A and B are shown apart, each in its own frame.
Chain A
């Protein structure tokens, strides 16, 4: 449980920033702006991780998502023809907002009502060590399979992108 003026105000600042920038990703008409909002969202989430004393996760979030994924998406958008084209607007936009709103209401209601398990501060002495142990212990299988998944995705993108022989 967060306590004290500093952490609580930091939480609300980061939470508003995360949700607001995520909303802007969807609302922004310009694709490039949407990507920049996405990067801001990643930074805000990294801040939230830091607030939960998951410092390794926060660093990984900044390095991988802000540093690599964000820049990659930015490049992909820039390299596609006519990157300045506007986001298209579907005819079902109104219905989507209505349904999405209903779903959000249900989820917020459930999230607010549920007595979630709470971890006291300092549950882990060092998160990096705990994560490392988990990855080669209990979760060795998914960890290894993830590497196969990356290779397959790479082979697949090469196969699809390569022209005719």
Chain B
């Protein structure tokens, strides 16, 4: 039965339904969260069983693929979802009887992200993208504050427009090739000169649609406002889970369907330019931020730029998937690092009652653990050893150099220097400035667990990056020709 390969998604959807139904009879925050985590765990076990039990293959007549690439992203997205759910523990209290819906929407967003990494057909990709986006529009507006409503509305409007653009691009690709299946498109494009005007227009529009999910320039306008207004755990999910899903589907579409020679050069150049723009605008924008969530928003734009370097280098050399495995490795390292940073921000801001960076003054004295973890994650985001972020940047810039894009790597390194100013600025505020008050900041163990896991992951993959690199290269080998 090939439908077994749909198991992880099914487990998440069943859990989402159960969470909402059980909440009707027995509304407890603890029960909703436990059921949600159980669903994530079941999906993770199923994913691992597919991976180790020889479950690779396809389902639904080739629409859904289970290969190393989709398994890699499934494990990543499930880990992120579990961590974000745990980190939401304190925030759930403020939701006034809507905890179950929050958990259920998170699970459905994760289902969409899982499908995005696995589906092999433009129509299915569009529906999966909507399945992961719609819950996030709602979650962004979940706090009953004006800022949160504004965040939800902005995200919805930008999302709706980018979905329309994506669909228009897909229509062009379908018109140019007569099929919606990704291998079918590749086949049709390579049968004759694939670089027709219609294919190029379709490619650009599809890139624009995915660009919104990846939060790259010029589709980044929503990022700072949405990150600032949305509940912090939701911002954490947007910055990691949503971005990972965006890059997963972009890799799948561009490396499967659109890798015909002329067209591949076109999009590699396009992504190289967008990488420079994203890194520069993200980093320069972050320099002026006084709000930690806005700062992390701009930082996530810059990090998306780093990831685009890998995408630009993905087809630079034949028979080599260094760029693609660079993206995978970077996404995984970034997930640990950024989650660690966000969870520390969740815990600190919750107790401090403020997202202002100035309120973090002397955080070191008030909560050594949170301050150290946040500082360590910011160091990793800068790309300084011994952190996972260092290896991620090294790997991805190496891919650019090997692909003959030395200038891109140079700009990337220069941008890392700019980013050090604001990342280390926050560290300075926490460690150098005297605290406003001496009262200790407590940390609930439920939030502490994912925080420690993220920090240990960042350190462990900083010291021993080998296994993660091997996994990323294994997953990217799916695209080797």
Interface residues, chain A, CB within 8 Å of chain B? 106-107, 109-111, 113-114, 116-117, 137-142, 145-146, 148-149, 152-153, 155-157, 159-160, 162, 164-165
Residues of B within 8 Å of A149, CB to CB, are 127, 130-131, 134
- Looking at the complex, which one of A107, A140, A146 makes contact with B201 (CB distance below 8 Å)? A107
The interface residues of chain B, by DSSP majority, are classed as helix
A61 to chain B, nearest CB (A): 16
- Looking at the complex, which one of A109, A111, A155 makes contact with B105 (CB distance below 8 Å)? A155
B5 to chain A, nearest CB (A): 11
A137 touches B175 (CB 8 A): no
A47 to chain B, nearest CB (A): 19
Q: Which residue of B lies closest to A143 (CB)?
A: B127
Residues of B within 8 Å of A152, CB to CB, are 105, 108, 131, 134-135, 138
- Looking at the complex, which one of A113, A141, A146, A164 makes contact with B96 (CB distance below 8 Å)? A164
B101 within 8 A of A: yes
- Looking at the complex, which one of A114, A138, A160, A165 makes contact with B197 (CB distance below 8 Å)? A114
B175 touches A114 (CB 8 A): yes
Could you list some 23 contacts between A and B, CB below 8 A? A107-B201, A110-B197, A111-B198, A113-B197, A114-B198, A139-B121, A140-B61, A140-B63, A141-B59, A141-B119, A142-B121, A142-B126, A142-B128, A145-B124, A145-B127, A148-B108, A148-B111, A148-B131, A155-B105, A156-B137, A156-B138, A160-B141, A162-B98
A156, B105: Cα distance in complex, Å: 8
- Also in contact, A106 and B201, with CB within 8 A (given A117-B178, A155-B105): yes
A114 touches B176 (CB 8 A): yes
B134 touches A156 (CB 8 A): yes
B87 to chain A, nearest CB (A): 20
- Looking at the complex, which one of A114, A146, A156 makes contact with B135 (CB distance below 8 Å)? A156
- Also in contact, A139 and B63, with CB within 8 A (given A152-B108, A156-B134): yes
Residues of B within 8 Å of A138, CB to CB, are 60-61, 63
B138 to chain A, nearest CB (A): 4
Instruction: Using A117-B178, A149-B127 as known contacts, list a sample of 9 further A-B pairs with CB atoms less than 8 Å apart, ordered by residue number in A.
Output: A139-B124, A141-B60, A141-B119, A142-B126, A145-B115, A146-B127, A148-B131, A153-B134, A160-B138
Interface residues, chain B, CB within 8 Å of chain A? 6, 13, 20, 59-61, 63-64, 96-98, 101, 104-105, 108, 111, 115, 119, 121, 123-124, 126-128, 130-131, 134-135, 137-138, 141-142, 144, 152, 172, 175-176, 178, 196-198, 201
B157 to chain A, nearest CB (A): 13
A141, B104: Cα distance in complex, Å: 20
A155 touches B101 (CB 8 A): yes
A162, B98: Cα distance in complex, Å: 10
A165, B96: Cα distance in complex, Å: 7
Residues of A within 8 Å of B128, CB to CB, are 142, 145
B63 touches A142 (CB 8 A): yes
Residue among A113, A152, A155 with the highest chain B CB neighbour number at 10 A: A152
A157, B152: Cα distance in complex, Å: 12
B140 to chain A, nearest CB (A): 10
**In the A-B complex, the 8 residue pairs with the closest CB atoms:** A156-B138, A141-B60, A142-B127, A114-B198, A110-B197, A165-B97, A142-B124, A159-B101
A152 to chain B, nearest CB (A): 5
B91 to chain A, nearest CB (A): 15
A1 to chain B, nearest CB (A): 16
- Also in contact, A141 and B63, with CB within 8 A (given A153-B134, A156-B134, A165-B96): yes
- Looking at the complex, which one of B108, B123, B134, B175 makes contact with A142 (CB distance below 8 Å)? B123
Residues of A within 8 Å of B61, CB to CB, are 137-138, 140
Residues of A within 8 Å of B142, CB to CB, are 159
Residues of B within 8 Å of A165, CB to CB, are 96-97
A153, B108: Cα distance in complex, Å: 11
